Structure 1
Amino acid sequence: MSEAALRAEIVRIAQAMDRAGFAPSKSGNVSARYEDGLLITPSGLPYAATTPGDLVALELDGRVRGGGRRPSSEWPFHTAIYRARPDARAIVHTHSPRATALSCARRPLPAFHYMIALCGGADVRCADYATFGTDALADNAVRALEGRKAALLANHGVIALGASLEGAYTVAAEVENLAGQYLDLLAAGLEPVILDAEEMARVAERFAGYGKVA
């Protein structure tokens, strides 16, 4: 994909995230690898007003290499994840309401539904809390994402990875859907039945043969 096409795709995904209600008050951010660095949404700019030219180009060590705006304040976890995860080509970070609510209880999403496997494992972990925009948060996020495509950030939101921007967004949207279902079960006073490791392994195998699942 050319740089122009990738910039347009990042903006498209960021605006879709905003329209879905996943980015209240200009929260959340989107990035994608480009060459040996990345392109990321800027800080403080409403997504509806963001254009491809507003994106910021960064080195993987966080140095700005192009763009007239400041990068998202969460650039440290984007760069840390790309350094730790060669398989990640795109990152979508949301503050989607139900998943963020669950993150404020600092509870992971267990395998109460087989679609948890879309997120890369048998659960969606909740990373330890750290102040936004810090290296501590970046370190916590990398640990929570080990072997996974998604994680909750305690008292914060969701991070989703993908081999493409569309794939990362699909995972982020599914985490929000699953969090809503899980919270509804808990609110009803019901105890979710958790699928065992063997079943989740079978589901993962089926997903592997079912086209590309992000």
Structure 2
Amino acid sequence: MIEDRIALIAAARAMSARGLAQGTSGNLSLRTARGILITPSAIPYDQLTPEMLPLIRLDGAYGAYEGDYRPSSEWRFHLDIYLAKPAAGAVVHHHAPYCTALAMARREIPACHYMIARFGGAPVRCAPYALFGTAELSAHVLQALEERTACLMASHGAIATGKTIEAALAAAAELETLAQQYLLSLAAGGPALLSAEEVAAAVAQFAQVYGPNIKKA
């Protein structure tokens, strides 16, 4: 368990170092054998220590947690994602500039680049606005994440999931890059979009090419 706590703190600090979060904005969580470790509310990432991370039990009362510090105000959509998506091992939420700019405009990311396959297909949806930390927002997020591994949230930010905290953080960074490229393409007159068939082919190819790279025996 201590290894999980150390990994989550390392990812939180890496998120800040990569410019995906400022101050205490954003939050991260990790599925473990005992439940969900999540970053606490209102504590800068560089001040976190392993014992500060609250643990939300998947098999306990909804929202109940163990620990001395209260979970992130966004604990609800983290918990609901894990309950709805058994394959999700980690969740990263950030307010990075380009994703947030699109979220402020309430624009989804269309099939502008084959890397859309990284997130399960096109588009990367933008969930409707709801007050942060609410059940309404969580419901919107779950809908936006149907058959997707990432989404934007209107006037808020972005969410990316992964099998591990490292994978979720990498996905969050790649989503920010895709958002930046999409915004730049709009300034150049707008992107030529891939067809549904081209996106499907990219999703299938992505699963093969970007799967585990096993060393030959």
Q: Give me the TM-score of the superposition, normalised by structure 1.
A: 0.94
Alignment of 1:63-102 (within 5 A): 63-64=64-65, 66-102=66-102
- 1:171-213 residue CA offsets vs partner (Å, 9 max, x unmatched): 111110011111112123x121000111111111111112438
Secondary structure in 2 matching 1:160: strand
Q: Give CA-to-partner distance per residue, 1:44-92, whole Å, 9 cap, x none.
A: 000111122211101232101x221010000000011111111111000
Query: In the alignment, is the contact (CA less than 8 A) between 2:109 and 2:122 conserved in 1?
Result: no
Q: Answer whether contact 1:162 1:168 (CA < 8 A) is retained.
A: yes
Deviations 1:77-131 (A, max 9, x none): 0011111111111000010011101000000000100001101112200001000
Distance 2:39 2:195 in 1: 39
Distance 1:140 1:36 in 2: 27
> 3-state SS of the aligned residue for 2:46?
helix
Letter in 2 for 1:149: T
- Contact kept, 8 Å, 1:117 with 1:123, in 2: the verdict is no
Tell me if structure 2 keeps the 8 A contact 1:128–1:140.
yes
The residue aligned with 2:11 is 13
Is the Cα contact below 8 Å between 1:160 and 1:172 reproduced in 2? Answer: yes
- Matched residue, 2:201: 202
Structure 2 residue 23 is matched with structure 1 residue 25: yes
Paired with 2:84 and 2:203, the residues of 1 have a C-alpha distance of 23
Question: 2: distance between equivalents of 1:51 and 1:187?
Answer: 43
Report the counterpart of residue 134 of structure 2 in structure 1.
134
1:115-159 CA-to-partner distances (Å, cap 9, x unmatched) read 011011122000010000111111100000010000000000000
Match of 1:62 in 2: 63
Give 1:85's aligned amino acid.
K
- Secondary structure at the aligned position of 1:39 is classed as strand
Cα distance in structure 2, aligned partners of 1:211 and 1:155? 32
Instruction: Tell me how far 1:163 sits from its aligned partner.
Output: 0.8
Identical residues among aligned pairs (%): 49
Distance 1:143 1:41 in 2: 24
- Give the secondary-structure state (helix, strand or coil) at the position aligned to 1:209: helix
Residue of structure 2 equivalent to 1:178: 178
Q: Which amino acid aligns with 2:161?
A: L
Count of paired positions: 209
Give the distance between the partners of 1:62 and 1:121, measured in 2 at CA.
31
Which residue of 2 is the match for residue 158 of structure 1? Answer: 158
Query: In structure 1, what is the equivalent of residue 215 of structure 2?
Result: none
Runs of 5+ consecutive residues of structure 1 not aligned to the other structure: none
Q: Structure 2: which amino acid aligns with 1:137?
A: L
Q: Report the Cα offset of residue 36 of structure 1.
A: 5.0
Instruction: Give yes or no for contact 2:121–2:148 (8 Å, CA) kept in 1.
Output: yes
**Matching residue of 1:45:** 43
**2:109 maps to 1:116:** no
SS of aligned partner of 2:143:
helix
Match of 2:125 in 1: 125
